[in-house]
Structure formats: C-alpha cells, structure tokens
C-alpha cells in the first residue's frame, strides 16, 4: 500500500522469526499491515551449523511468500538472533526509523525463542510501541506439521497485547555519550567526550573544538568540564550506565554493561 503525503500513517510490524509460521502470519488474517520486517539468522556467523541455518532460511521463505501473497511489503534482515544485544539493536533501529516517518509500529514477541522475546519486549517498551503475543492452540508433532505451521499451530487468532511499562532512558545528549563509548569499546577521557559533543553540535558544547581549544581561557575550559560532569556524567553514573576512574590528571569514562544495553536500545547504533 502506498502512503500519500498527508494521508496518515502506515502500519509496520516487526517479526523476529524462529521456526514459526502460524504465529508470524495469523494476525494478518484480521489486521492490516503496510509492511513487515522479518528478522532471522540465515548466516552461520562462523558459529552456527549449516543445517540449522538452512532450516531457518526455509521458514523465512515460507513466511515471506505468505505475507507477500496478502499484498504486504516484506523486508528481510539477517540478524544473529542468539545475541540479545544484536536483536535489541536491530529492532530499536527499525522502530526509530519508522516512527520518524510518522508510522505506527507493532512487534510480534511470539514467533522466536524466549531470549529473543525478552529482547523484543525491551525494545518495544523503551520506544513506546505495542508488543503482542500470538497464542498457540497446540504444538506440531510431525515434520510435515512443522513445515506447514511451524513449531506451533493456531486454529484461531488469539492475540494478547502487552501493556507497556515506562522505561526511563537517558536524555538525547546523554545517550550520545553512551553510544560513542559503546562504539569506541574502551574508556574515554573527558576532554575527548567534550570534543565529541562539540562535533555533534550539542547545545552548549558547539564551540568546544580542536580549533577553538587553544583560544579558550582556563576558566572557560573549567566551565565546560563542570557542565559535562554535573549535567550529564553524574546522572549517567548514578544510573549505573558509566563508571569514572581517576588516571593521573584525567578521568577515564567507561561504559558499564547496563550502559551497553541502553546504547543498543537507543536505535542509534547501526
């Protein structure tokens, strides 16, 4: 379905897919969708068996064909579904992109494994979109049934929409620090974080650049440092997202495991 300028939002579904068919396609017998993103692992990533990957490719192809026959645009993305952070990152990316286009997003949390469901749930709640669970009527007993329905079958459509809890994420500019630390993969000095904020044109830090540093007075440099520490780093540290370590004259800022999760959930990591 084509979206015309000023004619409202599109309905987008994100489906992390394991060995399921019914649970992925059943909702569209009743509910409309403009586009579906299918996320599945269809490469070995150097650690998964070819047999498992080939089976997953079959499920992706079956689900994709069924959706396209209903006139639903389908985009497939290869994701390491056994890596929780990767799942969170990809789902969050899509949500952020589609919400920026003014579209409404739904996430199916029932068509893959338990860890994937948890990751999908976290991403949905963090970005305020609806997650839903497709209730199965039973489980396939034979290989023939698995090829037809997936691991479980749905005689009738029963959906459970999950109530969103408010997850308080860091503010936009604080998130820029976490994303940068996550990308770097190592500790950063406060001066380097200040330069990053300057390069990102963060309000209040735009003038903190390599070019302007030699012209700054000691007082101006201290003001920038205090603004960074009091305005951002103290909050991030209090929430357990970073740690600060004294190294001689400098503080070394490191991202914690919690901070890494938040950076992945931001939708800013590509």
Q: pLDDT digits over 238-267, tens only?
A: 999 999 998 888 889 999 999 999 999 999
- Residue 217, pLDDT above cutoff 60: yes
pTM of the full structure: 0.88
Please compute the mean of the pLDDT values over residues 71-84 and round it to a whole number: 97
> Domains in the chain, ordered, with CATH?
11-162 (3.40.50.10770), 172-265 (1.10.10.10)
Q: Write down the pLDDT at residue 14.
A: 98
pLDDT tens for 166-205 read 778 899 999 999 999 999 999 999 999 999 999 999 999 9
| pLDDT confidence of residue 7 | 57
The pair of three-digit structure tokens given for residue 160, joined into one six-digit string? 């459970």
12 within 8 A of 104, measured Cβ to Cβ:
yes
Burial 204-215 (b: 16+ CB within 10 A, else e): ebeebeeeebee
Helix/strand/coil percentages in the chain, nearest 5:
45, 20, 35
Distance CA 183, CA 162 (A): 32
Phi-psi region of 150 (alpha: psi -120 to 50; beta: other; left: phi over 0): left
Share of the chain above pLDDT 90, in %: 88
- Tell me the two tokens of residue 217: 């007075």
Considering the chain, what is the average pLDDT of its residues? 93
Identify whether the C-beta of residue 159 lies closer than 8 Å to the C-beta of residue 27. Answer: yes
Pairing of strands 242-247, 250-255: antiparallel
């Amino acid at each position: 379905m084509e979206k015309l300028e000023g004619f409202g939002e599109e309905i987008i579904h994100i489906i992390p897919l394991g060995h399921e068919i019914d649970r992925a396609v059943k909702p569209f017998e009743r509910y409309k969708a403009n586009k579906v993103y299918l996320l599945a692992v269809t490469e070995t990533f150097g650690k998964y068996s070819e047999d498992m990957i080939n089976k997953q490719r079959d499920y992706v192809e079956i689900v994709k064909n069924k959706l396209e026959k209903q006139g639903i645009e389908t985009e497939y993305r290869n994701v390491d579904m056994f890596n929780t952070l990767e799942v969170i990152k990809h789902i969050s990316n899509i949500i952020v992109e589609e919400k920026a286009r003014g579209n409404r997003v739904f996430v199916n949390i029932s068509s893959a494994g338990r860890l994937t469901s948890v990751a999908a749930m976290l991403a949905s709640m963090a970005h305020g979109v609806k997650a839903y669970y497709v209730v199965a009527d039973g489980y396939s007993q034979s290989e023939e049934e698995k090829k037809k329905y997936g691991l479980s079958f749905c005689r009738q459509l029963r959906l459970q929409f999950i109530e969103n809890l408010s997850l308080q994420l860091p503010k936009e500019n604080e998130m820029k620090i976490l994303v940068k630390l996550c990308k770097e993969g190592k500790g950063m000095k406060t001066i380097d974080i200040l330069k990053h904020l300057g390069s990102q044109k963060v309000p209040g830090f735009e003038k903190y650049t390599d070019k302007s540093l030699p012209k700054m007075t000691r007082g101006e440099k201290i003001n920038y440092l205090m603004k960074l520490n009091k305005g951002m780093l103290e909050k991030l540290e209090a929430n357990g997202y970073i740690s600060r370590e004294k190294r001689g004259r400098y503080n070394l800022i490191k991202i914690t495991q919690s901070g890494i999760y938040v950076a992945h959930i931001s939708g800013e990591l590509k």
